[in-house]
Structure 1
Amino acid sequence: MSIAQRLEALGITLPPVSIPAAAYVPFVRSGNMVYLSGHIARKDGQVWVGQLGKNLTTEEGKAAARAVAIDLLGTLNAAAGGLDKVVRIVKATSLVNSTPEFTEHHLVTNGFSELIGEVFGEAGKHARSAFGVAQVPLGACVEIELIAEVA
């Protein structure tokens, strides 16, 4: 099954590249590597605001991380000239807006990792880090950045 067919089966339509909210670019390509800037969680077109352990559950955070994955796929599609040109998802870094007591950052980030695995199969298996942070830009609950190898 092609990546386009997998996306269609999952009911996913890729969004356009988001316009940066500050002084940076959405991605940088260097050789066969693409570095995607952090994307924040959005729900219904708005910033998905909240803090894990305070007013969001782990399952809600996981859904937010999945939403970030979809946005990142849109940017990666533009950066690579098509998702079929992605050789491997190399690394993801996840920042979870959470209380000091919250310890399920890894489970929140699974929302991202599981979708990437569904879309890319073996090439979607990636290294990652998941951190709890005191705040994310605009009060978003999750921010994720991505590194990929492309053909």
Structure 2
Amino acid sequence: MSYQKNAEAQGITFAKQTPGYLNLCIRSGNQLITSGHVSDLKGKLGAGVSVDQGYQAARNCAEKILNSVWNTYGTLDGLRVIKVLGCVNSTLEFSDQHLVINGCSDLLHTIFGKDGDGYHARSALGFAQLPTGAAVEVEAIFEIVA
């Protein structure tokens, strides 16, 4: 099964985006570099938002990223996930940012393969605040391998 079909099987929908103030995904050579994509969920991990809710918020970010990549490249086929940067809106005491960003990584592993093109480098960091009060923000870099 293709990566595009894998994503659709996960319930991810792809829709055309209207260009905005910033480019959500830009191609540079054989790379697709995304802007940060924020979760629909607002709030702070460690202060009312649970790790499970954060996990789903990170997955939500990944779905948005994949839609932006699709808008730029036209398909998810022929891509390899290179790097993910996950930002978690969290209290000073919260230290499970990595478990939150697993929501993004797990989806990418499911679509692109954990031992194949979905095996990526990653950072998961805590932030005092994110734009619009989002619980999570994620950006990613993909390589065009086809």
TM-score computed with the length of structure 2 as normaliser? 0.91
Change in 2 beyond 3 A, CA 1:62/1:78: same
Unaligned runs of 5+ in 1: 43-47
Number of residue equivalences: 143
The residue number in structure 1 matching 2:43 is 50
TM-score computed with the length of structure 1 as normaliser? 0.88
Shift >4 Å, 4+ stretches: none
The residue number in structure 1 matching 2:25 is 27
- Do 1:14 and 1:70's aligned partners in 2 also have CA atoms closer than 8 Å? no
The residue number in structure 2 matching 1:45 is none
Q: Give runs of aligned pairs for residues 126-145 of structure 1, distance below 5 A.
A: 126-145=120-139
Q: 1:36 aligns with which of 30, 34, 37?
A: 34
Change in 2 beyond 3 A, CA 1:115/1:18: farther
Q: Secondary structure at the match of 1:83?
A: coil
Change in 2 beyond 3 A, CA 1:29/1:8: closer
Q: Give runs of aligned pairs for residues 1-151 of structure 1, distance below 5 A.
A: 1-17=1-17, 20=20, 23-42=21-40, 48-86=41-79, 88-121=80-113, 122-150=116-144, 151=146
Change in 2 beyond 3 A, CA 1:24/1:94: same
